[in-house]
Amino acid sequence: MTKPDTALIAWQDLPAALGLLSRIPVRIDVERAQARGAAAAWAYPIVGILLGALMIVLAGALGWAGVPAAVIAMLVIASSIIITGAMHEDGLADSADGLWGGWDKARRLEIMKDSRIGAYGVLALVLAIGLRWTCLSVLLADPLWVAALLIPGTLSRAAMVAVMLALPNARVGGLSGSVGRPSRKACVIAIGIGVIMAVLLLGLAGVWVMLIGAIAALACAAIANRKIGGQTGDILGATQQVTEIAVLVTLASLAA
């Protein structure tokens, strides 16, 4: 068995987090990553920053080429889905199917584990992508466009860490169970990264954005705790999506 690594921060945490939350090919020390487990969760928001930076380059290039904002918005969403392997979208769909399609914890978890998608999952994806596209279409034509591509991904991945800490694993095994639960210090660092980014890019308006994002994440955690008694990898993916959308809607409202 791999011996746990209890250091607060390790440089290997970033490639481990990037390899877990995206399909970007990175060299990972598998043994060290397994030893670190959830201790590397503090780096999840940095993954959001890196992915957001890639989307800024893409959107900037397309904007320079004269592509309309609405088209850029859809290409940005499509690119982010490809880069992350639709991991978070899959979690949202599975969570929607399971949490609302089952009548008890066992059945809900069974549905969430099923690779097939149901009506709730389809509707959740349609609404999620529709909201993201609508908000980004507005924001990419606004001075807030850089913040719109950086802050939602950063805050939403910090929210994942908070939910990992706040709720126990709802099932034995699974992705979330294999990673474990982060320490309070790792969670504070993750949230701190999100706070710094929001304040640097938005000033005092960032406080409002963070508040709405926190409410969205809290709602996801409360629903998951009530329906399945904890969190799973799917719940974390759903939390990322819901929090990102909440932040985007808030930013779009500020830009209106």
For 165-216, the pLDDT digits (tens) are 999 999 876 666 667 789 999 999 999 999 999 999 999 999 999 999 999 9
**Taking phi first (over 0 means left), then psi (-120 to 50 degrees means alpha), and beta for anything else, what does residue 173 get?**
left
Distance in angstroms (rounded) separating the CA atoms of residues 181 and 11: 19
Look at residue 128 and give its three-state secondary structure: helix
Pair of tokens at residue 156: 């939403």
Between vectors from CA 108 to CA 102 and to CA 112, what angle results, nearest 5°?
Answer: 120
Q: Which residues touch 231 (CB under 8 Å, ≥6 apart)?
A: 163, 164, 167, 168, 169, 170, 176, 221, 224, 225, 239
Look at residue 231 and give its three-state secondary structure: strand
Q: Are 213 and 243 in contact (CB under 8 A)?
A: yes
For 25-43, the pLDDT digits (tens) are 988 877 777 767 788 899 9
Is pLDDT above 60 for 251?
yes
